Structure 1
Amino acid sequence: MITTSVVEAAQCLHKGQVLAYPTEAVWGLGCDPFNEQAFHEILRLKQRPIEKGVILLAAQIAQVEPLLKDLSPEMYEQVINSWSNRKPNERATTWLLPAGEHIPAWIKGNHSKVAVRVTTHSLCVALCNAFNGFIVSTSANPAGLEPARSLQEASRYFSGDMNYLNGDLGLSREPSRIIDAETGEVIRA
């Protein structure tokens, strides 16, 4: 299915299906992070080992607030500012946050933290809001290949068994940088 409706796309996620959709810089694959079967379908499609973990994408800080409670006040402010004050063409920031007990082990992989990004990309914001929570966001490509940057590229990678939310990429030229919120270490520059 190819749709431009975020409501239809959110329904796919609620049904346990995988969705390809445009993000700030590249196309992503998403699913309900609490649906283990859907998550394993993403791993199968990407030929990605579960140990790596994935990013969770949210539309609002309130959706990830429980993950921020253990940060120092200074780091909390830095994380919030990176999400709140990002310009549309500026590279997004994903933060590694303490995962707590409510994040499934399969999302974290072999890590004690979870990668989280609050997006300003209007289509992703609408999708997360229609889904009513955060969603999995991992680049739409099989392991070792370049991330898809269009619906056509994504559909070449994954063919007809996929659901697609068609729309425009954001203005960022690069996928998000990844920073550990507890140590400040830059994982992906």
Structure 2
Amino acid sequence: MCGLSGHHLATCHYVNRPFPRLPRHGQQHAARGHLQQGGVIAYATESCFGLGCDPFDVRAIRRLLAIKARPNHKGLIVIAANLEQLRPLIRPLTPAQLAVVNRYWPGPYTFLLPAAPRVPALLRGRHDKIAVRITAHGEAAALCQALGHAIVSTSANRAGQRSLKTARGCRQAFGVRVLTLQGRIGKRRKPSTIIDLDTGRVLR
């Protein structure tokens, strides 16, 4: 039974030069090819630029974690354009769980849900659940639609540093390690709210 309530919801070495700036009309095609080759991309989200990769490519996840200097045990968020893109990552939802996520998605709410058996351990970290969200950011949702699948989404920065807000900042920070897409972040100042759907506990 879902424990969520309205009360809880109140709340190798690289040369450091960037890829050539991509024309907007070719970005999604370039991103698809880059991800298929195990690459990492930077793209606009609701509150900042995010780093992303294919959520089932373990080598790409390791590369992303190394770029960000993020500890493996913390896990990562995955975003999607719709629920169908999340189904390979999560166990089947109960009617009560579906009612809750349909109420708050698309939107700035990341829910912890029981992970499907094939989900890479690096996505879950030390947890048995995975953090997922259907994004309300138009460009991020369009990217997922064009790719045909969900993508990892973690703030574009090294661990402990400020999240980057522009494509230019990402190109300067990550160079050729990351394919940066042009885009504009949303108006949200804070990252998404993270909630354990089973208990209703707000974790961020």
TM (normalized to structure 2)? 0.83
Q: Does 1:164 align with 2:187?
A: no
May I ask how many residue pairs the two structures share in their alignment? 181
RMSD: 1.5
Mapped pair 1:25 → 2:43: no
Deviation at 1:68, TM superposition (A): 5.8
2:121 is matched with which residue: 87, 105, 110?
105
Q: 1:36: which partner in 2?
A: 58
Partner of 1:15: 37
Q: Where does 1:65-76 land on structure 2 (aligned, <5 Å)?
A: 65=87, 67=90, 69-71=92-94, 73-76=95-98
Q: Which amino acid aligns with 1:30?
A: G
In the alignment, the residues of structure 1 paired with residue 171 and residue 181 of structure 2 have an alpha-carbon distance, to the nearest angstrom, of 11
Residue 178 of structure 2 aligns to which amino acid in structure 1? M
Q: Which residue of 2 aligns with 1:186?
A: 202
Larger Rg: 2
Partner Cα separation in structure 2 for residue 78 and residue 25 of structure 1: 23
Amino acid at match of 1:37: R
- Partners of 1:16 and 1:127 in 2: CA distance: 17
Q: 1:13·1:131 contact (CA, 8 Å) conserved in 2?
A: no
What is the deviation of 1:172?
Answer: 1.5
Cα distance in 1, alignment partners of residues 103 and 42 from structure 2: 28
Tell me whether 1:138 sits opposite 2:138 in the alignment: no
How far off is 1:178 after superposition?
0.3
Q: Secondary structure at the match of 2:187?
A: coil
Percent identity between matched residues is 40
Contact 2:35 2:53 in 1 (8 A): yes
Counterpart contact for 2:91–2:115, Cα < 8 Å: no
Give the Cα separation in 1 of the matches to 2:184 and 2:91. Answer: 30
- C-alpha separation between the residues in 2 aligned to 1:133 and 1:80? 19
Q: Which residue of 2 aligns with 1:89?
A: none
**Secondary structure of residue in 2 paired with 1:186:** coil
Which amino acid is the alignment partner of residue 154 of structure 2? T
1:69-108 to structure 2, matched below 5 A, reads: 69-71=92-94, 73-84=95-106, 86=107, 92-108=108-124
2:98 aligned partner, one-letter code: Y
Offset at 1:174?
Answer: 1.4
How big is each residue's C-alpha offset from its partner over 1:92-130, in whole Å with a ceiling of 9 and x where there is no partner? 110000002021111101110000011121111121112
What CA distance in whole angstroms lies between the structure 2 residues aligned with 1:47 and 1:113? 22
Aligned to 2:73: 51
The CA distance in 1 between the partners of 2:189 and 2:138, in whole Å, is 16
> The residue matched to 1:95 in structure 2 has which SS?
strand
State the distance in 2 between where 1:141 and 1:130 align: 25
Task: Say which structure is richer in strand.
Answer: 1
Q: CA deviation at 1:9?
A: 1.3
Assess if the C-alpha contact under 8 Å between 2:40 and 2:177 holds in 1. Answer: no
Kept after mapping to 1: 8 A contact 2:196/2:202: yes
Distance 2:93 2:83 in 1: 15
The runs of 4+ residues in structure 1 deviating greater than 3 Å are: none
